[in-house]
Each structure stands twice: as structure tokens, then as C-alpha cells.
Amino acid sequence: MNWTDLKTRAAACQKLASLFAQNPNRAEEFSARHGDMLFDYSKTHIGEDDRALLIQMASDADLEDRRAAMFGGQKINETEDRAVLHTALRNLSDDAILVDGKDVMPSVRDTRDRMAAFSEAVRTGALQGQGGAITDVVNIGIGGSDLGPAMAVLALAPYHDGPRVHFVSNVDGADVADTLRGLDPATTLVIVASKTFTTIETMTNARTAQAWMATVVKDTGAQFAALSTAEEKTAEFGIPSAHVFGFEDWVGGRYSLWGPIGLSLMIAIGADDFTDFLRGAYDMDCHFRDAPLADNLPVLLALVGVWNNQGCGHATRAVLPYDQRLTRLPAYFQQLEMESNGKSVAMDGTSLEVNSGPVVWGEPGTNGQHAFYQLIHQGTRVIPCEFMVARAGHEADLGHQHELLVANCLAQSEALMVGRSLKEATDIMAQRGLSGDELDRQARHRVFPGDRPSTTLVYPKLTPFVLGQIIALYEHRVFVEGVMLGINSYDQWGVELGKELANALTPVLRGEASDAEKDSSTRLLLDYLRS
Ligand code: F6P
């Protein structure tokens, strides 16, 4: 890969102001549309030749072949010898998808139909709790078995017409205790969402919920459901097979929202809206699969990421949705991007020549503006920002508030780009009556360096279809960045060591094992915590 060329070009890039001054069509030429969605990356430092180099790099990394391999069910997750087929879960065509020569689609469709029937039964009251119709659903899961449905249930609140849905993830007993308090065990459905059905947090919380329900309800299994690839373990837990929704190991945890892990979302919004959500993702899949690289939204989003991170060396990126219902989206993207591309070893076992994927973080605007934007505007580090905003909100009677939201979003990317010079700041402060040293001092505090990069994704309205498009857009972006880095985006060995050590520390905390082998810092902390 041409990383040296990329870094050289990034180091020599022109200022945003000159890129715009030289090319009056820059906004049109450095933006792309798909359907009703607009992605503007003109406020990045990527010039025409840079973009050509980035596209060449993607091509040199065999992006098109890798993409075909992923969609085609080949085992591109080489360290786990698995296919990567979350796209099969939203494949709404009649096309077969073969894994090891077998079409996976009949079973995907069958599970989707079973989920639809089950969620309809819960929503209509055909499936009752032992104290009447289900009023509350508690999804117990963590990571990909929590973040996706929790994010999407909140995002699609205007479509929510089913029972209340709650999420428990943390092994901290506070989470399950606070969630269950006030719920009626006799009208609550507990969904245990775990791909492996071994995750300690989830299984511990699930047993706590089972004990809570057993105080009131005779047959707890009747009010439990399970979402897992390990169906035999769900039976051991006492969940009847009619309430078990299985999936295959070719669905990664952080990519699993589209299938059984989305059951809580389906119960909240209904099967039809859930299908619209799948339709949006499928639409983005087709775009990603078919559009030329230069017009391909996921590819362009990835190229911007590679430029900023591996090219310019910016270690983080902020995801800033101007959409309150996307409050959980930054956390969802954190797992999606950092668990996928936070790796320093390439697929072939060699060390990466460049930075791994970036730190991803963020909060919805406008809230973030009153918290951390100070650093984004005037801090010493450059933080590339990814803004998102809808053309219209759901609250027709609050259009004036939506205008304010949009104005703020656009103002931020403008302010980051244009900044405010010392001369401008001095003029402003002079008009306010300052002069001499005080004018100079005060003016310096009011300088904005500007020339800071951002992208903006604009979508018509946060419907299930559009949410599906946005999530799939980012999933494929992660894939493209991973291919360019030469890594496997679909394993997560980096989470294992901490799990192993936690398992070993639990008996030490209980006084059942010795801490003699531990380092002195860990022993000090153990002494304090055991005292
Ligand atoms: O520990 C990381 C992880 O394996 C994630 O990849 C996954 O989403 C999460 O744990 C939960 O795993 P499971 O769905 O198997 O409980």
C-alpha cells in the first residue's frame, strides 16, 4: 500500500479556504448522493489527486474482490474461519447465498417469519404473561447484543406502538435492579440476547431476572425468550424452543441487529416497520455492491476516514448526530468501528505499517456544543467531525425547533472551516471598546484557527428505512477501512485477556484463591476492596 505517498500528500495538503477558492464546484464535486441522502465531504482537505490516490489504494487492496467475497459468503473472517454475512439477514431479494455450498436464505427467512409471528403475538396480547398481556420487555445482553437494539429502539421512538422496552447490559447489579424495580414479573417478557450464551454479564443478569420472576410466576420459561447461536444452552437455561431464535456464526455480534438480536426492536415497532428498517439496509447494500468506487457512499466515507487517520494522523473522530433520538449512535459506532478495526496485526500476521482504526466518540448536537466543542474549535488537536442531520423532524408542530437544530449543525461545520482570525477578533473587541494590551490579550482568546475538517450526512427524516441505510453505510465503511488496512474486521481477540483475568480474579475477591501471583498494584487494590 502506498501509505508513504498518502502521508506525504496529507502533510502537504492545501488549506480548506484555498481548496474552495480554486474550485467553485468543490461542494458538488466533493459530495455524493444516494437516493435522498447527501454526503458532503468537501470540508475535508482531500483534493482531486488525493482522492484519486485513495481510490487507487482501495482498488490495490482488492476492495472489489473482497466485497464480492463478503457478499458471496466466502470465509473472509479468516482467524475464526467464518463467513461474514450480516447482509444475508437483510437480503430481501430471492437470491440464494451459499455458505459451504448451502443456501442460508431459507433458514434466515424462516427465522424472520417466526420472529414476526412471535412479536405480533406479544404486541396483540395473543401471547400473555401469567398476569395478563405483556406490558414490558427487558432485553438482557451486552455489546452487540445490547447496543444495536437499544440504539434503534430509541432512534425509532415515533414508530413505537408495542409494549415498553428496557435494556439491561452491565454486570453491575445496579443495572438490573434499577430496571426491574417497578416492573410486574407477571406481565414482563425477558429476552436473553447472547450470541454465545456464555457471556458472564448476560448470563448473570439473566439468572437474576429469572429469580426475580420466579417469586411471582410459576413457569418463568414461558416469559423468557432467547436469541443465540447456541440453542442447546438456551434449553439448559429453561427456555422453550418456541421462544428461541437462532442464528449462525457468520453473524458478528456487532453486526447482529438485523436478525434475532433485533427482536426487541421488532416488538417495539412491529414487523412491518422492522422490514422497512431491513429494506433501508438492503438498499445501502445494493448501492455499496454496485456503485462505482468514486460515487459509493460507504467507500467515500471510508476514504475520508483513512485520509484523516492514517494520512493526517488524527487519532480520533467525533460522530455528532444533530438528532436527539440518535443519542446511542456514537456508542453503537464505537463498538462497530473500534472492535472491528482496533487492531495492529494484519490478516497475514504482520504488524500494521500505519495507525489502526481511530478512537470514535461523540454526542448529539446541540448538547455537545455546550460541553466539548470548545476543544474541537480551539484545542491544540484536530478532531475530524462527522455531522448528521435530518431535513425534517417528526414533530410537525415544532418545525421552528428543527430549523434551530439544522442551523446549529451547519454553523458548526462552517465555524470549524472558516475560523476567526486575530485581525477579525481584534476588530470585534476594539468595537467593544478595548484597546492597547488588553485588546491584544482578549482578542487572542477569541481566535479560532479554523481549517478543521468535517463531513455532513443529510437524510430526509429518521424513518426505519433511513436508519437502516445509515447503519449499513457505517458497517460498510468499517469493512472498506479494514480492507485498506489489511486487517480482519470481524474478530475481536482484544477483548479476551480482560475476560480471562476477571474470571481468575473473582475467586481471589471471594477469598477462595491467593493473590500471591498478582502485581503489587493489583494486590493493593484487592486489599482495599476486600477490607
Ligand atoms: O466481548 C466482546 C463481545 O464478544 C462482543 O463482540 C459481543 O457483541 C459481546 O461480547 C456480547 O457477546 P454475546 O452476544 O455472545 O453475549
Amino acid at the residue 317: R
Distance from the CA of 61 to the center of ligand 1, in angstroms? 29
CA-228 nearest atom, ligand 1: 14
Query: Which of 192, 198, 489, 495 has most ligand 1 atoms within 8 Å of its beta carbon, as the pocket-test mutant?
Result: 495
Q: Amino acid identity of 203?
A: M
Cα of 218 to ligand 1 centre, how many Å?
31
Classify 460 as helix, strand or coil: coil
Query: Residue 146: how many CB atoms within 10 A of its CB?
Result: 27
Instruction: Tell how far the Cα of 279 is from the centroid of ligand 1, in angstroms.
Output: 26
102 catalytic per annotation: no
Phi and psi at residue 512, to the nearest 5°:
-95, -5
Q: Is residue 233 among the annotated active site residues?
A: no
Count of CB atoms situated within 10 Å of the CB of 72: 13
Q: Give residue for cell 415515533.
A: 158
Angle between helix axes 48-60 and 3-11 (nearest 10 degrees) is: 160
Cβ contact 86:282 at 8 Å: no
Atom of ligand 1 nearest to the CA of 499: 1
Backbone angles phi, psi at 302, to 5 degrees: -65, -40
For residue 144, give the ligand 1 atom closest to its CA: 8
C-alpha cell at position 129: 404473561
Which amino acid, 443? A
Give the integer Cα–Cα distance in Å for 445 and 21.
28
Q: What lines the ligand 1 site, CB under 6 Å?
A: 142-145, 194-196, 199, 202, 253-254, 339, 492, 495
Question: In whole angstroms, how far apart are CA 434 and each of 78, 296, 424, 441, 444?
Answer: 66, 52, 14, 10, 13
Distance 252 CA to ligand 1 centre (A): 9
Read off the pTM.
0.97
246 forms bridges with which residues in the sheet?
A: 228
Which pLDDT value is given to residue 2?
87
Q: How many CB atoms lie within 10 A of CB 211?
A: 10
Of these residues, 248, 337, 339, 481, which one is catalytic?
Answer: 339
Smallest CA separation from ligand 1 atom 3, residue: 143
Cα-to-centroid distance, 470 and ligand 1 (Å): 22
One-letter amino acid at 283 equals D
Phi and psi at 136, nearest 5°, equal -140, 140
Burial (Cβ within 10 Å: 0-12, 13-18, ≥19) of residue 316: middle
First to last CA, the chain: 55
| AA letter at 314 | H
Would you state the pLDDT for residue 227? 98
Rounded Cα distance between 7 and 5, Å, is 6
Burial of 117 (0-12, 13-18, 19+ CB in 10 A): middle
What single DSSP character describes residue 68? Answer: H
3 state SS of 118: helix
Question: Atom 16, ligand 1: which residue's CA is nearest?
Answer: 194
What is the rounded CA–CA span in Å between residue 310 and residue 388? 23
CA of 201 from ligand 1 middle (Å) equals 10
Ramachandran assignment for 217, one of left (phi > 0), alpha (psi -120 to 50 degrees), beta (any other): beta
Residue type, 228: S
Cis peptide before 44 (omega within 30 of 0): no
| Span from the CA of 229 to the centroid of ligand 1 (angstroms) | 12
Residue 370 catalytic? yes
Q: Which of 196, 234, 335 to mutate to test the pocket of ligand 1 (most atoms within 8 A of CB)?
A: 196
Ligand 1: which of 80, 145, 234, 341 to mutate, most ligand atoms within 8 Å of CB? 145
* pLDDT tens per residue across all 531 residues of the chain: 689 999 999 999 999 999 999 999 999 999 999 999 999 999 999 999 999 999 999 999 999 999 999 999 999 999 999 999 999 999 999 999 999 999 999 999 999 999 999 999 999 999 999 999 999 999 999 999 999 999 999 999 999 999 999 999 999 999 999 999 999 999 999 999 999 999 999 999 999 999 999 999 999 999 999 999 999 999 999 999 999 999 999 999 999 999 999 999 999 999 999 999 999 999 999 999 999 999 999 999 999 999 999 999 999 999 999 999 999 999 999 999 999 999 999 999 999 999 999 999 999 999 999 999 999 999 999 999 999 999 999 999 999 999 999 999 999 999 999 999 999 999 999 999 999 999 999 999 999 999 999 999 999 999 999 999 999 999 999 999 999 999 999 999 999 999 999 999 999 999 999 999 999 999 999 999 999
Catalytic annotation, pick one of 218, 370, 400, 445? 370
